[in-house]
Amino acid sequence: MWDYSEKVKDHFFNPKNAGAVAGANAIGEVGSISCGDALRLTLKVNEDTEVIEDAGFQTFGCGSAIASSSVLTEIIKGMTLDDALKVSNQDIANELDGLPPEKMHCSVMGREALQAAVANYRGEEWQDDHEEGALICKCFAIDAVMIEEMVWANKLRTVEDVTNFTKAGGGCAACHEDIEGILERVMKERGETFDPNAAPIEAVVMEKKPLTNLQRIKKIEEVLESLRPQLMADGGDVELVEVVDNTAYVNMTGACSACQMAAMTIAGIQQRLMEVLGEFIRVIPASQMPKVAVAAGG
């Protein structure tokens, strides 16, 4: 029996943004029902700012696939397309407080659907077709490029790791030797030695000790203080109103309060905070703060 976090269970039983977005102008489809998992991601993108105003998903798959898709839509709403493309499968898993190793491929599917949707919006060609000779796992149509990318990004070290993150090797096992070859080559480039008998990595969770709310507030204040001179040079400013869990509520003041680019400024602050804190955090105008949070802050 796999051990699922409370966040995974919540997003499974109470999925956010399920269904197609009305008036969507970006669509990303990945996976195959015949292979067991499929995801259709729809986005409504502001054509002037490229900010994702709404996101929805339709998933055919297990509970982890539903939870990963649900949390992905929550993460990317309010982001620009460029910032959204920086969201990794580790970010998706971390926001769910980890996934069982055998279900990490669900977070990878979400990342690919996002890439496909952005390409669709920009009129670019994105496809998961495979060049002749590049296909490694015929059972699940996984190519060498994807396997190598996942090995690098997630520091995978065993065939079991690769199967957990990509599903490659989870069928007939005929591709295990080729997967070992990719692992050996990448690990050599990383300065490591491939050991076919090594233990697989554990579920992806936040490795560092989570910040206390007081520590989080202090770091947020430090980041805002570093950004303040740039905002004040344009006649604006930002103040922290409240921090509730991983959500920071701010007030944009001065010229920033009426600026048409306020949403992009907030998205930029959010990105900077995530880089410094090393965790996902949402930055939201204080005007959107729930009444419960207001009462707690007052």
pLDDT at residue 45, rounded to an integer = 97
- Cα–Cα distance, 88 to 205 (Å, whole number): 13
The pLDDT assigned to 130 comes to: 42
For residues 44 and 81, give the distance between their C-alpha atoms in angstroms, rounded to a whole number: 11
Spell out the long-range contacts of 286-295 with Cβ–Cβ below 8 A and sequence spacing 24 or more: 286/241, 286/242, 286/249, 286/250, 286/251, 288/249, 289/241, 289/242, 289/249, 293/242, 293/244, 293/249, 294/242
Give CA–CA dist 118/115, Å, rounded.
5
pLDDT of residue 207: 43
Active site residue 172: no
DSSP label at residue 131: -
Q: Averaged over 246-263, what is the pLDDT? A: 76
In order of start, what are the domains of the chain with their CATH numbers? 6-121 (3.90.1010.10), 135-189 (1.10.10.1100), 213-297 (3.30.300.130)
Tens of pLDDT along 159-175?
Answer: 999 988 888 888 778 89
User: Does the structure show a pLDDT above 50 at 202?
Assistant: yes
pLDDT-above-90 percentage for the chain = 33
Q: Is the pLDDT of residue 216 over 70?
A: yes
Does 261 score more than 80 pLDDT? no
75 or 278, higher pLDDT: 75
Bigger pLDDT: 290 or 56? 56
Helix (H) or strand (E) holding 42: strand 37-45
| pLDDT score of 44 more than 90 | yes
Kindly tell me if the per-residue pLDDT of 9 is higher than 50: yes
* Residue 106 is a catalytic residue: yes
Output the average pLDDT for the chain: 82
Instruction: Note the pTM of the prediction, 2 decimals.
Output: 0.57
Cα dihedral value 107, 125, 26, 137, nearest 10: -20
How do residues 128-146 score in pLDDT, each as one tens digit? 544 444 678 877 778 888 8
Residue with tokens 């709403």: 77
Higher pLDDT, 182 or 219: 182
